[in-house]
Amino acid sequence: MLMQLPRLTSSLRSPFDIDEAYLQRKVILQNYLRKPNNTANSLHESELARKIIDGWEEASTEVRQAYRQFIGGVVELIDGEVQSEEFREVAWNVYRIFGEEESADSNFTEKKSKLQKLIGHAISDARLQKVAALSQRLYGLQPRNSGAALIVESHVNGSGDDLEFGADLAFQAPARFLMDTSLEDGEMLGEESAAPLSMLHDGWYDHGDPGQNHSTADGGNFDLSWLRDACDQIVGESTSQLSQDDLPMAICRVLDSDKPGEEIAGDLLDLVGDSAFEIVQDLILHRKELVDAIHRGLSLLKSDKTASNTQSRMPSYGTQVTIQTESAKQIDKLRRKEEKRNRRGTEHGVESDVSVASFSSLLQASERKNPFDNLIGSGQGPHSLSVTALPQGTVRKHYKGYEEVIIPPTPTTEMKPGEKLIEIKELDDFAQAAFHGYKSLNRIQSWIFQTVYYTNENILVCAPTGAGKTNIAMISVLHEIGQHFKDGYLHKDEFKIVYVAPMKALAAEVTSTFSHRLSPLNMTVRELTGDMQLSKSELEETQMIVTTPEKWDVITRKNSDMSLSMLVKLLIIDEVHLLNDDRGPVIEALVARTLRQVESTQTMIRIVGLSATLPNYLEVAQFLRVSPETGLFFFDSSYRPVPLAQQYIGISEQNFAARNDLLNEICYKKVVDSLKQGHQAMVFVHSRKDTAKTAEKLVELARNNEDLELFRNDEHPQFALFKKEVMKSRNKDLVELFGSGVGVHHAGMLRADRGLTERLFSGGLLKVLVCTATLAWGVNLPAHTVVIKGTQLYDPKAGGWRDLGMLDVMQIFGRAGRPQFDKSGEGIIITSHDKLAYYLRLLTSQLPIESQFISSLKDNLNAEVALGTVTNVKEACAWLGYTYLFIRMRQNPLAYGIGWDEVIEDPSLSLKQRALVTDAARALDKAKMMRFDEKSGNFYCTELGRIASHFYIQYSSVETYNELLRRHMNDSEVIDMVARSSEFENIVVREEEQNELEMLLRSSCPLEVRGGPSNKHGKISILIQLYISRGSIDTFSLVSDASYISASLARIMRALFEICLRRGWSEMSLFMLEYCKAVDRQIWPHQHPLRQFDKDLSAEILRKLEERGSDLDHLQEMEEKDIGALIRYAPGGRLIKQYLGYFPRIQLSATVSPITRTVLKLDLLIIPEFIWKDRFHGAAQRWWILVEDSENDHIYHSELLTLTKRMIRGEPHKLSFTVPIFEPHPPQYYIRAVSDSWLHAESFYTISFHNLALPEARTSHTELLDLKPLPVTSLGNNSYEALYSFSHFNPIQTQIFHILYHSDNNVLLGAPTGSGKTIAAELAMLRLFNTQPDMKVIYIAPLKAIVRERMNDWRKHLVSQLGKQMVEMTGDYTPDLMALLSADIIISTPEKWDGISRNWHSRSYVTKVGLVILDEIHLLGADRGPILEVIVSRMRYISSQTERAVRFVGLSTALANARCVHLIQSQAPKS
């Protein structure tokens, strides 16, 4: 029986000072709060600085300056790019070697060689001496008594300076006062609190009995075997009343409970007794390790149990016969009974997992290893995955410092009976042209040929790299072309084919391949990427577009380009396995949009997916709507044309220098092994500088190992010929390394040098080629052996070094083995030991592809809402159902944060789907990107959302702009706001970049940088300004960061300009447009406008113009010789005058016509005044036309005008638009024309409102009365009533019936379209037929089309029934005189009636007109208005002369100044 023991005895309580524990806790919290959320934001918390300088936080400015100079010296010394932790290691070692004064003079050469070994390349003496001097200065500036080495002790023991009273005891708080480090982002106790924590973690008391040693002293493992030994000790000393097996199990239950730390400590003391509280302390401190061990044991026990449970449920294939003895049958029966009982128990939740297990079984399970645990190092972090199964024949070898896993090549499978290769001659004639030079298709292509070429099925092909997937795409393209061949003619305008390639380099390669092979069919293939833009006409002429996922996403997001996406009949997606990548969401969005388009428009778009081998291909097929029976093809590595042997090497060496040496040695060994077999090798590294460094290292190692003979190429028959060509090159590395048979290749080399290197390697003159991954993408250059040296590459998007992705590794391994020459290829990857398991799973296709769509759900939902394809929650859920996320979420809910309880409650996951959509919609609503009505579930797009969608701006960036964008901002505030965009959020500040950033800040940044170079946003601001200033950078990581920033900069600036424009901020819009152009042209707005011709005008001329401060208008007025004198260079005057003529200028003039008191009509005349030159102006120039009220800082009208070369030479261009005007009237409006691409190219025109006469204020609209509708019988004539199929007139007709049918007054009827105005005209005609049957009706319509429509309508429904005659008079048709004399109704255009009525004296039928109906009379304000005025005036004059009344009925849309129009009709005629 358990006895209740006191919680804490008084003896335990006495020395514990609660106040001090509280103060400790307070210090930790203060440090945490002081620390910025993102450690990358600031460098003041630097780990290295604190290691080198004691009391870094309190260090003086002088010490900090010396430290920065020292870091700058180390950066120069390394002269290359290393990861930050490696850089810190080098800097620390340099300081340790040279820091102390007494060691400064001792053996310099020895130290130099030590450092060279550490860094991995030669160091110049000058640089080393500089660093030595800097480190000694830094050491000298620090207080003598402290030194870096003493930091740790001073922190742990606490310094005596701040003691107020009492003895200086080393105090440790009890475990219950330890802070849980997982409070915020895992950063609660970061670098600052490291020392106090180490102090707190040492134990409760140090003055305990030395005999009772802490188990932590030996640094042993805290697992279940340690717990067993501890419990044995407790039971042996009789401090607990539980047995040897019960006690550890009870402790396990307590540790695995959800209670807070204090209660657990109390419960454990109750279990083990007072005397064993050190063990309790260890249990609490190492609770995580122990709980992990418990869970591991339980999971293995559970998996054993489920394995035994499921064995009997396995499906039986074929016929299986089982032979069992009688006793075995009985045992089996008992086992099944026991399992049933256990299952029933767990279903009713009788006991927890921990209670079911016995401690001994738990211990055994936790110590048991997975079959592959020994095989592969599984490190910590996201890539610590276990490998479940490796191919047969896999060999594992251990060496000092590294481990090697060798996977043999999979032998090529034999041809199956009946399997044959498809010969090219079996294809249609037109298709054979695309396979010129081929005899037959390969096995994979032949296997799928029937489906791809003869059906419209969607297809997914999973096959190893190098299996000829490009030809599969080609067959599907030919099938599509075949469908549009009619009568021997290809109808090119009926279809478009889109090929989505994951990278620009690959897109370029695919474009050149397909355009060459499809040229016999006269097909146009074009590339559409960030580098290659296409105009609208070019897009229309192109049949096959090769693009990247992002580019095609942007195009299909815009409503204006819907016509293009509607023509797409075939969508080929290459490298579908990228769904797992951070670019996966884009592919998901594209496919979902395409599938919805197919369903909504009922048009056929075939999807062809090409992918590497992957485990969950069935789900990917489901996502692409591929039928598993007919359209899904999966080929394993046995179908690779050249079988691939793979070697995975994981380096476990921890020391940086030793690790580097080992990496080079292993790489060298593998290359030499390949050369000895007579093969060539390619070594892939991850930075340009590393190519030459690695090549030199290989040559050096070959020299040391006397293997240079293997690399030699001077016996090659073409050696002398190629040597001459190599010697002409200016690339130092290429020339120097050629003699050793080694070459380098990277994107930084000249195109000619790259081409030469490729020829040398394919010709066999280079045995080894060291290159970057760009070679694997852009050029098809295989080698027998491919070595990937290190898997860390710098990625500015990720904000540092990341692991080489699956796509890159597969592409590089795809270069191993030359199909024509090799029986097999060899792919070798050298990585760190903890990444070994990750790459093995990746490349043995055991890593299932998960969706990354949730991360960009908000942005994609916004794009669909802006496009108009999703308008409410229901449609959004349906759209989400088309994504890979939805398919994968149902298969693996736990990976997407969905618990099993949710799955059981909601098996279809429709609630989860709805929750995801609703959360995203709420967030978008908060950011004002759309309006979300929660009651109805409807979405309404906003301008902000549309701009974000069109310019590909992330949701989090829009939130930033909402917060920071204001109506008035200065230059540095704008740059700082752009720097805070989430597109750049992963960029981090590195210590090694500080010196260069400070130098760039002084030399290339005209604007203030907020936060300085040590702040993340400060660094981005510097790089933005540097881009506009065209500055140059040395540090590798800065070069990458700068190019990453510049790729998004123009897009972000344009988006900000559009936001300001839509908000109507005139000053800010013009300011942002200036910056858009500054980024596009890389010229500051304050620089001289002629800098935009900097390729033609010398820097000297431009500098002088800026110094003299002469603006464009001033230069325009000056003579050539005056300009020459101004810049003190006579010939320059003529040159400047010439380029001033090319600078875009336009002249504006405008006329204002008030329509109402609040609306003005503006007619703008635009006269270009510059010489068009295609080289500068391209096909068209775009100008923004803005009408702004400068007093209220508001834009009332904006439109984009496109000027072409033809328009420049022709008549001045006219624009008409309306703008509002408000009381009290501003003094003036400005009309601005601002060029969209040329800085300082703008003109403006002032509209003054001083003498503006506006119409009267009173409204002239007739009120619509609430009358009872009049029946048709009111006409009082049966033949008239029979004309109408309806029973009652509408409200407008009812109100005007009396005046039209029972009076002869003139009428002006202004009403909206569809109000029944034609029937009103008919009522007036019927009145004339009643009262004056001998008089004629003239109906004047402004367009021939309306005349024709009226003729057809009245011929059917009016004329025939009333027995009247009707004629048409237009430019196309003139009736003869007899027809005109006998006609009762004449329908004419204004021009025709004007021409005829001029001679009214001699034309009697003109004088017999009793009713004139003028349709569309609102056109009085248009070009043809004067003719209508003349007709009315002339008819009134004729009436006065003949003394016969002429009635006028005018029909128009609703008019603002109807009174004036009515006066025209009603005024007395004048002769």
Q: Which of 292-306, 534-548, 1046-1060, 1315-1329 has the highest mean pLDDT?
A: 1046-1060
H-type alpha helices, 460-522? 469-483, 504-518
Going by C-alpha positions, the residue among 698, 638, 687, 636 that lies closest to residue 796 is 687
The secondary structure of 1215-1267 as a DSSP string is: EEEEEE--SSPPSEEEEEEEESSSTT-EEEEEEE-TT-----SS--PPPPP-P
187-201, 281-295, 1208-1222: least confident range: 187-201
* Mean pLDDT (whole number) for 1300-1306: 89
Integer Cα distance of 685 and 666 in angstroms: 14
Going by C-alpha positions, the residue among 1118, 1141, 1122 that lies closest to residue 1130 is 1122
More confident residue, 1318 or 534: 1318
Q: Please name the helix (run of DSSP H) or strand (run of DSSP E) that holds residue 573, with its range, or none.
A: strand 568-573
Integer Cα distance of 573 and 557 in angstroms: 18
Going by C-alpha positions, the residue among 1284, 1417, 1436, 1408 that lies closest to residue 1337 is 1408
Determine how many CB atoms are found less than 10 A away from the CB of residue 924.
26
Integer Cα distance of 536 and 714 in angstroms: 54
Q: Confidence band (pLDDT; 50, 70, 90) for 667?
A: very high
* Mean pLDDT (whole number) for 67-82: 77
503-507, 854-858, 1093-1097, 1160-1164: least confident range: 503-507
**Residues 1379-1414 pLDDT 10s:** 788 888 999 888 888 888 888 877 888 888 899 999
Classify residue 1295 by burial, with Cβ atoms within 10 Å: 0-12, 13-18, 19+: middle
More confident residue, 1416 or 311: 1416
Q: At a CB cut-off of 8 Å and minimum separation 6, what does 350 contact? A: none
What number of CA atoms fall less than 13 Å from residue 945's CA on the CB side? 26
Integer Cα distance of 135 and 1151 in angstroms: 75
Q: Is the pLDDT of residue 193 over 60?
A: no
Going by C-alpha positions, the residue among 982, 973, 972, 984 that lies closest to residue 1020 is 984
Integer Cα distance of 526 and 532 in angstroms: 9
Q: Is the pLDDT of residue 204 over 70?
A: no
Cα dihedral: 341, 345, 351, 356 (round 10): 20
Q: Is the pLDDT of residue 1230 over 90?
A: yes
Q: Confidence band (pLDDT; 50, 70, 90) for 106?
A: low
Q: What angle do CA 1211, 1215, 1220 make, to 5 degrees?
A: 160
H-type alpha helices, 584-729? 584-601, 617-623, 656-676, 688-704, 708-711, 719-728
* Mean pLDDT (whole number) for 292-300: 80
The secondary structure of 812-845 as a DSSP string is: HHTTBS-TTT-S-EEEEEEEEGGGHHHHHHHHTT
More confident residue, 256 or 458: 458
| DSSP structure class, residue 483 | H
Q: Confidence band (pLDDT; 50, 70, 90) for 1465?
A: low
Could you give the angle at which helices 584-601 and 884-891 cross, rounded to 10 degrees? 110
Integer Cα distance of 455 and 479 in angstroms: 8
More confident residue, 822 or 1173: 1173
Q: Which of 244-258, 297-311, 613-627 has the highest mean pLDDT?
A: 613-627
Q: Confidence band (pLDDT; 50, 70, 90) for 184?
A: very low
* Mean pLDDT (whole number) for 469-491: 88
* Percent of the chain whose pLDDT exceeds 70: 82
What number of CA atoms fall less than 13 Å from residue 773's CA on the CB side? 22
Q: Is the pLDDT of residue 1122 over 60?
A: yes
pLDDT of residue 206: 38
* Mean pLDDT (whole number) for 1255-1259: 68
**Residues 49-61 pLDDT 10s:** 877 887 777 778 8
The secondary structure of 77-100 as a DSSP string is: HH-S---HHHHHHHHHHHHHHH-S
Compute φ and ψ for 989, nearest 5 degrees: -95, 135
Mean pLDDT, the chain, integer: 80
Q: What angle do CA 1385, 1391, 1397 make, to 5 degrees?
A: 60
More confident residue, 378 or 1213: 1213
Q: Tokens in use for 794?
A: 């710098």
pLDDT of residue 30: 57
Q: Which of 179-183, 265-269, 755-759 has the highest mean pLDDT?
A: 755-759
Integer Cα distance of 786 and 307 in angstroms: 41
**Residues 141-182 pLDDT 10s:** 877 654 444 333 333 334 444 444 444 554 554 444 444 433
User: How distant, in Å, are the alpha carbons of 474, 504, 505, 514, 532 from that of 511?
Assistant: 12, 10, 10, 5, 11
Q: Confidence band (pLDDT; 50, 70, 90) for 332?
A: low
* Mean pLDDT (whole number) for 236-251: 78
**Residues 207-234 pLDDT 10s:** 334 333 333 434 467 788 888 888 888 8
Q: What angle do CA 500, 503, 508 make, to 5 degrees?
A: 80
AA identity, residue 1253: A
Q: Is the pLDDT of residue 924 over 90?
A: yes
Determine how many CB atoms are found less than 10 A away from the CB of residue 533.
10
Integer Cα distance of 1004 and 1025 in angstroms: 7
pLDDT of residue 978: 94
Report yes or no: 1321 and 1339 within 8 Å, Cβ to Cβ. yes
Integer Rg of the chain from CA = 42
148-152, 435-439, 931-935, 1095-1099: least confident range: 148-152
Q: At a CB cut-off of 8 Å and minimum separation 6, what does 599 contact? A: none
pLDDT of residue 146: 45
Q: Determine the distance from the C-alpha atom of residue 3 to the mean position of all C-alpha atoms in its chain, rounded to a whole number.
A: 65
- Three-state DSSP class for residue 484: coil
Q: Confidence band (pLDDT; 50, 70, 90) for 183?
A: very low
Going by C-alpha positions, the residue among 1116, 510, 17, 862 that lies closest to residue 528 is 510
Q: What's the start-to-end Cα distance of the chain, in Å?
A: 130
- Three-state DSSP class for residue 981: coil
Q: Is the pLDDT of residue 756 over 60?
A: yes
Q: Tokens in use for 1428?
A: 């209508």
More confident residue, 419 or 697: 697
The secondary structure of 918-960 as a DSSP string is: HHHHHHHHHTTSEEEETTTTEEEE-HHHHHHHHTT--HHHHHH
Q: Write down the residue that tokens 């430019």 correspond to.
A: 1371
pLDDT of residue 1466: 54
Q: Is the pLDDT of residue 413 over 70?
A: yes
Q: Which residues of 269-301 are buried (b: 16+ CB within 10 A; e: fewer)?
A: bbbbbeebbbbbbbbbbbbeebeebbebbbebb
Q: Tokens in use for 562?
A: 């819907």
More confident residue, 333 or 1119: 1119
Q: Tokens in use for 495?
A: 């279809």
Integer Cα distance of 1223 and 972 in angstroms: 37
Q: Tokens in use for 479?
A: 């099938």
Integer Cα distance of 629 and 641 in angstroms: 25
Q: Is the pLDDT of residue 1023 over 50?
A: yes
Q: Confidence band (pLDDT; 50, 70, 90) for 1067?
A: very high
Integer Cα distance of 738 and 720 in angstroms: 12
Q: Confidence band (pLDDT; 50, 70, 90) for 841?
A: confident
* Mean pLDDT (whole number) for 1159-1182: 90
Integer Cα distance of 584 and 852 in angstroms: 6
